C-alpha cells in the first residue's frame, strides 16, 4: 500500500513539476520549438487544453497552469484516500 501511494505521489509530483517548468521557460526566453519545450508541451497539453476552454488568458496571463496544479493535487488526494479505504 505504501509503495503504491508513494508511486502515485511521485507520478503526480513529476507531472506538476512539468507544468511549472513549462510555465516558466517562456519567461526565460525559451522558444516553444526547442526540443525540451516541445516535449513539455506534448505531455502537459492534454490537461491544459481542456481547461483553457473555460479559463481564457486575462491581461496576457494564462492562469490555466495554476488551476491545473490545483486539480492535479485534488485528484492525487482523492486517489490516495481511495487507496487507504480499499487496503
Question: CA-based angle 40:14:60, to the nearest 5?
Answer: 45
Cα separation of 49 and 70, whole Å?
15
What is the pLDDT at residue 1?
81
Please write the tens of the pLDDT for every residue from 28-82.
999 999 999 999 999 999 999 999 999 988 998 999 999 999 999 999 999 999 9
Other C-beta atoms closer than 10 Å to the C-beta of 27 total 7
What mean pLDDT do residues 15-37 have? 95
Residues in the chain: 87
Q: Which of 3, 1, 2, 16 is closest to 76 using CA atoms?
A: 16
pLDDT band at 7 (very low <50, low <70, confident <90, very high): very high
Amino acid at each position: 500500500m505504501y509503495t503504491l501511494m508513494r508511486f502515485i505521489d511521485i507520478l503526480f509530483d513529476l507531472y506538476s513539476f512539468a507544468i511549472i517548468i513549462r510555465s516558466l521557460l517562456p519567461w526565460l526566453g525559451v522558444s516553444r520549438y526547442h526540443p525540451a519545450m516541445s516535449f513539455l508541451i506534448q505531455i502537459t497539453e492534454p490537461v491544459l487544453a481542456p481547461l483553457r476552454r473555460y479559463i481564457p488568458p486575462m491581461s496576457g496571463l494564462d492562469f490555466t497552469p495554476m488551476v491545473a496544479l490545483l486539480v492535479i493535487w485534488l485528484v492525487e488526494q482523492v486517489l490516495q484516500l481511495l487507496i487507504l479505504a480499499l487496503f
